[in-house]
């Protein structure tokens, strides 16, 4: 089988839309005909070399589509199911999976950075026969993708593909951080530093948990307006002053203590320090933003004292077969906002325009609509 995909051949390069030859499916494989794929900042990190992966590669890890074919051992999905791809499939029986930490699955951690599936293999070849790397076992910037069974999650057919694909990364990470990881309590005070896609969903998660005070902090007035629509009760932007003023404003809203739950979603040393300064003694800080993995971060040690609980999360405690259908149903019930996140929709052939807009800060989420 041959199909079209956006292929990255070199760091800093542009994509080329090329023919890809699909190799035979293994027993645990699921072939998905993709309809929508979101552009995420993690893709951009690979393009620009901040996150090294073997090239050539098909990027993309927010994908939704229809199951086209399944391997002989697959039982969780069937042909015709509407599915969202999970970028963290897991084996279910390694040291970490048995301890209910699938995000740390050993086969995933071993093979995924090498551009392979859980079994160490690749199912993609360029038309000339050269092996093509998978990205985070999903590679959704394409007409089709092959994922392990645990990476294909059935969702209600009523949710549109362009909304469903967002669940696979940013939505799960943000909402899950508030609901599954931090377990925000009803009536609590919450601060979210950074109102990109993940931060906006942390706000939604706090709203779903019935937090009383939800403070959004960002430098972009447009993102703060979206934060209000997502459930923020208070907005702090550049006109409010520097970091010390933000932390002071949070204390002013919380009887001088600071917030019960804080989510750092911006990435970088300054946002992380601000998030710590906003966390009350005994409170919880969940770090969702990131910097380059080998970069050192300097923080004021005293801000980590006072029995503060600090947690780093990559996927919001995701259990995709539990959480993806739940998030889809929340959207269908009108309790989770997704439409507002999509800044633009583009065909696969215009993928470079989407990443150019991301670099320029002109977009929150671009969704590729995949034609066949």
Q: Please report, to the nearest 10 degrees, the dihedral formed by the alpha carbons of residues 115, 312, 169, 216 taken in order.
A: -150
CA distances for 4 relative to 137, 140, 144, angstroms: 18, 11, 8
What topology is assigned to 2-168+338-369 in CATH?
Quinone Oxidoreductase; Chain A, domain 1 (3.90.180)
Residue 239: pLDDT band with limits 50, 70, 90: low
In Å, how far from its chain's centre is CA 237?
24
Reduce the secondary structure of 100-167 to three states and give it as a string: CCHHHCHHHHHHHHHCCCCCCCCCEEECCCCECECCCCCCCCECEEEEEHHHEEECCCCCCHHHHHHH
DSSP-derived letter for residue 233 is S
Q: Please determine, for residue 127, whether its predicted confidence score (pLDDT) is greater than 90.
A: no
Burial of 257 by CB count in 10 Å (0-12 exposed, 13-18 middle, 19+ buried)? middle
Please compute, for residue 162, the number of CA atoms within 13 A of its CA located in the half-sphere on the CB side: 16
Fold of 171-312: Rossmann fold (3.40.50)
Residue 286 has pLDDT above 90, yes or no: yes
322-336 pLDDT per residue, tens: 999 999 999 999 999
pLDDT tens-digit map of 130-148: 999 999 999 999 999 999 9
Please give the Cα distance from 359 to 193 (Å, whole number): 20
pLDDT band at 240 (very low <50, low <70, confident <90, very high): low
- Please write the tens of the pLDDT for every residue from 21-58: 999 999 999 999 999 999 999 999 999 999 999 999 99
151 neighbors 324 (Cβ within 8 angstroms): no
| pLDDT of res. 242 | 74
Beta-bridged to residue 279, according to DSSP, are 259
Q: Is 339 exposed, middle or buried (0-12, 13-18, 19+ CB in 10 A)?
A: exposed
- Give domain limits for the chain: 2-168+338-369, 171-312
């Amino acid at each position: 089988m041959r199909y079209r995909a956006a292929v990255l051949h070199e760091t800093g390069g542009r994509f080329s839309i090329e023919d890809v030859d699909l190799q035979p499916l293994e027993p645990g494989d699921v072939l998905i005909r993709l309809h929508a794929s979101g552009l995420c900042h993690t893709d951009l990190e690979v393009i620009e070399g901040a996150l090294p992966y073997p090239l050539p590669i098909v990027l993309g890890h927010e994908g939704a589509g229809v199951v086209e074919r399944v391997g002989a051992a697959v039982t969780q999905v069937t042909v015709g199911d509407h599915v969202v791809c999970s970028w963290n499939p897991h084996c279910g029986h390694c040291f970490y999976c048995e301890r209910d930490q699938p995000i740390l699955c050993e086969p995933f951690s071993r093979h995924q950075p090498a551009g392979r599936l859980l079994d160490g293999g690749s199912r993609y070849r360029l038309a000339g026969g050269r092996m093509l790397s998978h990205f985070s076992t999903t590679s959704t910037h394409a007409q089709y993708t092959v994922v392990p069974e645990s990476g294909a999650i059935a969702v209600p057919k009523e949710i549109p593909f362009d909304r469903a694909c967002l669940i696979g990364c940013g939505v799960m990470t943000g909402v899950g951080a508030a609901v599954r990881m931090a377990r925000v309590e009803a009536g609590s005070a919450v601060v979210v530093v950074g109102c990109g896609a993940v931060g906006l969903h942390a706000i939604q998660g706090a709203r779903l948990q019935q937090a009383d005070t939800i403070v959004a902090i960002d430098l972009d007035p447009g993102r703060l307006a979206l934060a209000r629509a997502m459930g923020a009760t208070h907005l702090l932007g550049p006109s409010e002053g520097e970091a010390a003023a933000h932390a002071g404003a949070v204390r002013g809203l919380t009887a001088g203590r600071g917030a019960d739950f804080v989510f750092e979603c911006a990435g970088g040393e300054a946002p992380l320090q601000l998030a710590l300064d906003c966390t009350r003694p005994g409170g919880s800080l969940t770090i969702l933003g990131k910097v380059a993995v080998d970069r050192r971060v300097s923080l004021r040690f005293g801000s980590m004292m006072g029995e503060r609980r600090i947690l780093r999360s990559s996927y919001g405690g995701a259990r995709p077969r539990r959480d993806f259908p739940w998030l889809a149903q929340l959207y269908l019930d009108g309790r989770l906002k997704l439409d507002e996140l999509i800044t633009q929709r583009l065909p696969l052939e215009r993928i470079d325009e989407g990443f150019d807009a991301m670099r320029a800060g002109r977009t929150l989420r671009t969704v590729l609509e995949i034609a066949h």
